[in-house]
Amino acid sequence: MKNGPVFIKAAYKRKDTMIARFKHLIVALLSQLRIRNPIYFMKKKILRRVLMRKMLNSPVQELALIGAVNCKAIVENEVLDKWIKDYGLDLSNILPSEGNLAFPFFNEDVLKLLVDSKFSSILEGYFINMYGCRPVLQSIPYLVISYPNISHGSFDPKKNNFPAHWHTDYQSEFTVHVPLGEINSSCTHTVYAVDTHTSFFRPPSDPSKIKNIFKSFCGRGDAVMLDVDGWHHGHLEGSSPRLMVQFKFTKGNDLLNYPEQGITPKARMQIERTKNNIHTFDTIKRQLRKDMVFSQSISSQIPMLAVIEDNIKYYHDYI
Ligand SMILES: [Fe+2]
């Protein structure tokens, strides 16, 4: 009897180790076969089937079917012109660079887009039907500028700071791009493998196997909505810059909070690149000071915007 508990503990330990080893083996096997979390994607497939039966001919259904949709005329021209003027975003002020330029972009117009717009209702419909919950901002929105000084063919993921190789993002991540100018073949654009957002597989190592591709060409002020559980990448083209507001959402997982130990060297490099490659960065800085005050006034009671309160810290790295 004296050795009973010790024996039981040892037996449990052996069982734990065996389960851990088994789990490790399964994860390694799935990863070798380029298979993703099968339970998550099976659930997503089932919920999509339910959604397809109850909604007909809606953008939510198109999104569920393809994984990507272009939602037309979301931001009016006057608002886009105001942004360009207030932030000094004239194209002639921007230099080509070896990675994306980006700064936080959160103001009254952006808030309205998030809480009361055609895109926000499509997004909410998609999340409620596919995940059973409302979308949550993963990080503060950013104004992202892609103006590569290299061609797509010479892209090297180890050297260049563009997401230009086929990949998927955090599980349940959803991206919305609102371009300030037309997106066509003369600027960098995101390409997306149709109907891969419920796939059990990661992108194949041979990209020529990917045939059915959605190109995110769109008009000024449209919203390109992408479920980035699907395979995608930026196709680099540097004839003219792409300027867009980029929103990232998830079910509430993997929030991109400001790192406790401060931002990474890679993030610091991106900030420096942004400051150095926009001639009018002083105009942006002035506007960011106003945006920071506005962000501080936003109630953290709105669950979708909870990350804003934390991400305000990023403004200090820019101003
Ligand atoms: Fe991505």
181-191 pLDDT, tens digit per residue, is: 999 999 999 99
184 CB burial (10 A radius; 0-12, 13-18, 19+): middle
47-53 CB contacts, 8 Å cutoff, 24+ apart: 47/129, 47/130, 47/131, 47/132, 48/130, 48/198, 50/129, 51/129, 51/130
Secondary structure element (H or E) that encloses residue 190, with its range: strand 189-193
Cβ atoms 63, 227 nearer than 8 A: yes
Q: Is the per-residue pLDDT at 36 higher than 50?
A: yes
Average pLDDT over residues 248-275: 94
Q: Which residue has the tokens 């998030």?
A: 114
**Euclidean distance between CA atoms 141 and 175, whole angstroms:** 10
Distance CA 163, CA 236 (A): 9
Gap between the Cα atoms of 244 and 183, Å rounded: 10
Q: What is the pLDDT of residue 26?
A: 77
What's the predicted TM-score (pTM) here? 0.88
* DSSP codes, 34-48: TB--HHHHHHHHHHH
pLDDT value for 158: 79
Q: What is the DSSP letter of 96?
A: -
CB atoms within 10 A of CB 246: 17
Q: What is the rounded CA–CA span in Å between residue 319 and residue 314?
A: 9
- What is the β-pairing status of strands 242-250 and 136-137? antiparallel
* 63 neighbors 214 (Cβ within 8 angstroms): no
Q: How far is the CA of 228 from the centre of ligand 1 (A)?
A: 6
Q: How far is the CA of 125 from the centre of ligand 1 (A)?
A: 22
Q: How far is CA 130 from CA 124, 126, 182, 183, in A?
A: 10, 6, 30, 29
In this prediction, residue 207 carries a pLDDT of 87
Q: What's the pLDDT score for residue 5?
A: 53
Task: Calculate how far, in angstroms, residue 237's C-alpha sits from the geometric centre of ligand 1.
Answer: 17
Confidence of residue 2 (pLDDT cuts 50, 70, 90): very low
Cβ distance 242 to 146 under 8 Å?
A: yes
In sequence order, the 6+-apart residues with CB closer than 8 A to the CB of 266 are: 161
Cα-to-centroid distance, 248 and ligand 1 (Å):
10
Cα of 142 vs centre of ligand 1, distance in Å, is: 14
Report the range of poorest mean pLDDT among 152-166, 179-193, 262-276, 287-301: 152-166
81: phi then psi, degrees, rounded to nearest 5: -65, -40
For residues 213-241, give the mean pLDDT.
94
Cα separation, 7 vs 1, whole angstroms: 10
Calculate ∠ Cα 22-25-131, nearest 5°: 90
pLDDT in tens, 63-121: 999 999 999 999 999 999 999 999 999 888 999 998 999 999 999 999 999 999 999 99
Residue with the larger pLDDT of the pair 302 and 66: 66
Residue 216 CA to ligand 1 centre (angstroms): 13
Q: Helix (H, G, I), strand (E, B), or coil: what is residue 257?
A: coil
Calpha distance 59→126 (Å, rounded): 9
Q: Tell me the percentage of the chain whose pLDDT exceeds 90.
A: 73
